[in-house]
Amino acid sequence: MASEPARAQPLQIFTPVRRAWGLWLKLSWPPAERFSPVARFVKAPLKRLRFIHFAHWSLLTHMPPRGGTRLPYPYVVFSTTFNGDVNAYIDAFSILIPWRMRLLWQGAFHFPGPEPLGRFRRFITERVVPTEHFHCAYPQASVKMILGALELEEELGRLRREAPGMDDAEFARRWRQLLGRSGAVL
């Protein structure tokens, strides 16, 4: 298993943005992170993609970040771990959530917009800083597998609780339902 290529891939980019844009991000991120209806609305399409393990956006303005010297530009720091091909990952952001990409990077220097795809892909890939060392506790598990396994665990638990009260026919029906639902995650 260890010799197989890891499914999870890390990626990070550091993008200088105009100072006014940094202010916009500072004001707009808290409600998009903490105010549930907004957070759900903004994040739902990304979560539905089921290929992002973790994605973090933050703004770096000083070095050291706390109490340090102000940098000449604020930097959007984007670090993520995802499954699959990097180009497909970037294209998915462009195609599915173009306006959210604008809300994040419109004020970045040289930002070409989320479309056309090729230019946005180049904007990201040219700024990728290679990862020197990476560890994942479950390297062979995709996000889809993990979310599917967590859902399956709930369903199996429900069936275990209810099974003693079922006759064979009822159990067989529920088993087929479970197989049908879980087929995609196996």
- Of residues 123 through 152, those in contact with another protein by CB under 8 A are 127, 129-139, 141, 143, 145-150, 152
Strand, coil or helix: 11: strand
Closest CA to 177 of 49, 163, 143: 163
Stretch that binds another protein, among 83-91, 116-124, 158-166 (CB under 8 A): 158-166
Q: Which of 19, 30, 85, 177 binds another protein (CB under 8 A)?
A: 30
Write down the least CB distance from residue 135 to another protein, Å: 4
In the shown chain, the binding pattern of residues 83 to 122 toward another protein, with x for contact by CB under 8 A and - for none, equals --------------------------xx------------
**Can residue 64 be called a binding residue for another protein (CB under 8 A)?**
yes
Q: What kind and span of H or E run contains 34? A: helix 19-34
What amino acid is encoded at 34 in this protein?
R
Among 95, 125, 179, 181, binds another protein (CB under 8 A): 179
21-58 in b/e form (b: 16+ CB < 10 A) is bbeebeeeeeebeeeeeeeeebbeebeebebbbeeeee
